[in-house]
Structures are given as C-alpha cells and as structure tokens.
C-alpha cells in the first residue's frame, strides 16, 4: 500500500509519496498572483485551478490515501476543488486535513508515520 502527504500553503505544495519505507518528494508552485481579500464576492478572490490541478496530477492513479496538511485554508480549498473536479478518482481518497505550520520535510514524514496505521506505508 501507499499513501501521500501533501503539505500546501497558498503558493507552494510538497507532495510526499510514502510506500514500503521509501519516501519521494515532488513540488508544485503557484505561478499566478495570490490575491487576498475579505470580500468573498470580490471577483479577484479566486483559488488557482492550475495550481490545484498540478497538485492533483501528482496524486492521480497512485495513492490509496491522501493526508493534507499545512497552514491556512488552502488545503480546505483544495478539498473543495477535488470534490468539484475529481470526485470519482481523488476526493474520496482524502483521509484527513491537519493544521501544520512550516515543518521540515523530516517532521512531515514523522507526522505521516504516526498518522497512518501500521502497514499502510
């Protein structure tokens, strides 16, 4: 079995693939400008579908379980994106979202090993 842990904020994502004691990491970067506003009706307040699609592409077809971690709400917006665009193949693989500021890669991997039951990764 395998699992993914995705750490993301509004501009970057690190995708950790854990399988059989091995870990590989890939990265995705948001290239468009992030615009913050308190007014949700503001037409400039948009998530980046290209950024989210890049992250989703790293997850397609490989993972049994996906854990999303990171600061802020980007991980929650990513879940909504998956539910709207990848419901049949990715959204149901999300097993949790956890708040996590800016840990090292080793801290993310250690957290994943504690989060997933023995035998999953």
Interval 91-105 mean pLDDT: 92
Q: Nearest 5°: phi and psi at 102?
A: -130, 70
The reported pLDDT for the residue numbered 45 is: 38
Q: Comparing 55 with 62, which gets the higher pLDDT? A: 55
Strand ranges (DSSP E) for 40-113? 65-70, 94-99
The reported pLDDT for the residue numbered 7 is: 97
Q: At what angle do helices 49-59 and 74-85 cross, to 10 degrees?
A: 70
Residues 116 and 19: their CA atoms lie apart, in Å, by 12
The reported pLDDT for the residue numbered 95 is: 92
Choices 3.40.50.300, 1.10.10.10, 3.30.420.60, 3.40.718.10: CATH for 2-31+45-115: 3.30.420.60
The structure tokens 């970057």 sit at: 12
For the cut 80, the answer to whether the pLDDT of residue 33 exceeds it is no
Residues 42 and 114: their CA atoms lie apart, in Å, by 40
Residues 55 and 13: their CA atoms lie apart, in Å, by 7
Residues 60 and 111: their CA atoms lie apart, in Å, by 23
Please report, for the chain, the start and end positions of each structural domain, with discontinuous segments joined by +: 2-31+45-115
Instruction: Please give the model's pTM, rounded to 2 decimal places.
Output: 0.82
Residues 63 and 86: their CA atoms lie apart, in Å, by 14
């Amino acid at each position: 079995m395998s699992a993914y842990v995705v750490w993301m904020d509004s501009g970057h994502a690190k995708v950790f693939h854990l399988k059989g004691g091995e870990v590989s990491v890939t990265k995705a970067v948001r290239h468009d400008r992030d615009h913050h506003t308190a007014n949700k009706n503001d037409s400039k307040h948009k998530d980046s579908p290209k950024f989210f699609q890049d992250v989703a592409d790293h997850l397609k077809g490989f993972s049994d379980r996906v854990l999303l971690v990171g600061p802020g709400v980007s991980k929650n917006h990513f879940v909504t994106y998956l539910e709207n665009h990848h419901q049949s193949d990715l959204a149901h693989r999300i097993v949790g979202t956890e708040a996590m500021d800016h840990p090292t890669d080793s801290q993310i991997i250690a957290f994943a090993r504690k989060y997933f039951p023995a035998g999953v990764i």
